[in-house]
Chains A and B, each alone.
Chain A
């Protein structure tokens, strides 16, 4: 079942085409990985799917309905969640409070002025569950600014998962992590709920091939290939322009 569909997406800044006629699908339970050299337009694509950037043409569909013109928060309410590569978390808040806000967005009532947030046991309990799932419980009371970079990357995923999304966009979740942290993060991504459709950008080929159900190769804004990992790995053009360098 297709959860997320991107259809003939177009985006350019002046003469620079960052997205050219990109079409791809993410199904329930699928881990779809986008690879491509720097400047291939990967993050721009994620931003257009998330709603942080508006495409010039084409469509983004969630569950068959067109969301191209919807604001990020409206897409989030349809079950789309994302992580950011560079955007910081809620730096001055605790790890728990970061996740709690993610839970509150979906399960709480942000226009409730009267009840104390601490009294919403359902929201707090779910936040603790998510922290458990991501193995962050020990850090719950620490301020984000004071935890390690690797833990922050994990928290990124925790915050995105907090609202129980159906589609998760991960923008280079392992960038800047040590090999040990990377392996740990792969385990975490593997253990995510199986109904989740995941679209992730990744550079590390080891990670890509150990996780991907499907790989899409972007090259200067264009889809070069989109298929099962072994088929993509065998693709001549892909080998020429991209993989050749790292194999």
Chain B
């Protein structure tokens, strides 16, 4: 019910909010997809990836390069971006799922950093730290994503589709197995689950969704730079998930929106956006572990009881 109201609001939003607000929410929808994809790993499978920006960035670069270097239609570019990110996740995940806990954190971090330095150093292809821009935005039947309103609706569609697919995955037997993995891996193996294959599969799916978000991001900005692959970007995704509430899918999406709104607000008042991000991070971990979603849920349940 609440979700339906939200959806109606989302449909009406561009006509209520003007171009600034529309752009803001467009960006929030894109980051929400990325945050939800991280939640599939972090919240449902217990795999905390500290290098999730890698797949987001790979998707973004794949979209940009498939258009500029291969002359591919941008619609096809989105598909290419998703596939490339999934492939990157397959290769990186192949190594990462062999280790667990802290080593997993470090490996994901190291691989992301590897891709980051590749993007910075291969100037010939990636344009180095200047990035690349000015590629075509997709259009269909005369409707071009150059128009912010169409861009907004494309992202809304992408978000709803992602949410639906991710929910589907979580409610499937595969999703249940992932949760088992999060809760108790030793037990899962004793029961006969191929835990490494399950993890790898989750990693690839998560990478694919992150790549999809990355492609939308590249289209939205018509520009991409190594920042999208950076340590800081991975951190922002983690913060969105933690802020919104780990393991609730919708929570991280809310987290992404709050994060961006806060960023807009704070950066227009102070230069210390980064410190504020850090402090929020610290506070979330120390005092607010169930996130906004968990808090809202508790509050609503308490309300229902009284």
Contact = CB atoms under 8 A, between A and B. Distances in A.
A29 interface: no
A87 B186 contact: yes
Interface in A108-156: 108-118, 120, 123
Given A111-B201, A120-B173, A106 B183 contact: no
B195 A73 contact: yes
Interface in B174-207: 174-177, 179-180, 183-184, 186-195, 197-198, 201, 205
B190 A52 contact: yes
A89 interface: yes
Interface stretch (A74-82, A194-202, A207-215, A239-247): A74-82
A100 B176 contact: yes
A88 interface: yes
Contact size class for A?
A: 35 or more
Contact of B190 (A81, A88, A113): A81
Given A89-B184, A106-B192, A118 B171 contact: yes
Contacts of A110: 173-174, 176-177, 193-194, 198
Contacts of B172: 112-117
Given A90-B184, A113-B168, A114-B168, A73 B173 contact: no
B169 interface: yes
B179 A73 contact: no
Interface in A47-100: 50-52, 71-73, 76-77, 81-82, 84, 87-93, 97, 100
Nearest to B174: A113
A90 B186 contact: no
Contact of A112 (B173, B186, B189, B197): B173
Contacts of B201: 111
Most buried by A among B183, B192, B197: B192
A84 B187 CA distance: 9
B143 to A, nearest CB: 31
A105 B173 CA distance: 10
A49 to B, nearest CB: 11
Contacts of B191: 73, 76, 81, 101-102, 105, 159, 162-163
B168 A101 contact: no
Nearest to B195: A73
A91 B183 contact: yes
B141 to A, nearest CB: 30
A104 interface: yes
A130 to B, nearest CB: 13
Most buried by B among A105, A108, A110, A112: A110
**Which of the listed residues A71, A81, A101, A117 has the most CB atoms from chain B within 10 Å of its own CB?**
A101
Contacts of B194: 73, 110
Interface of A: 50-52, 71-73, 76-77, 81-82, 84, 87-93, 97, 100-102, 104-106, 108-118, 120, 123, 159, 162-163
Given A90-B184, A101-B191, 8 more contacts: A73-B188, A73-B190, A73-B195, A76-B189, A87-B186, A113-B169, A116-B172, A123-B173
22 contacts: A51-B190, A73-B188, A73-B190, A73-B191, A76-B189, A76-B192, A89-B187, A90-B183, A90-B184, A90-B187, A92-B183, A104-B176, A105-B188, A111-B201, A113-B172, A114-B168, A115-B172, A117-B171, A117-B175, A123-B173, A162-B191, A163-B192
Interface of B: 168-169, 171-177, 179-180, 183-184, 186-195, 197-198, 201, 205
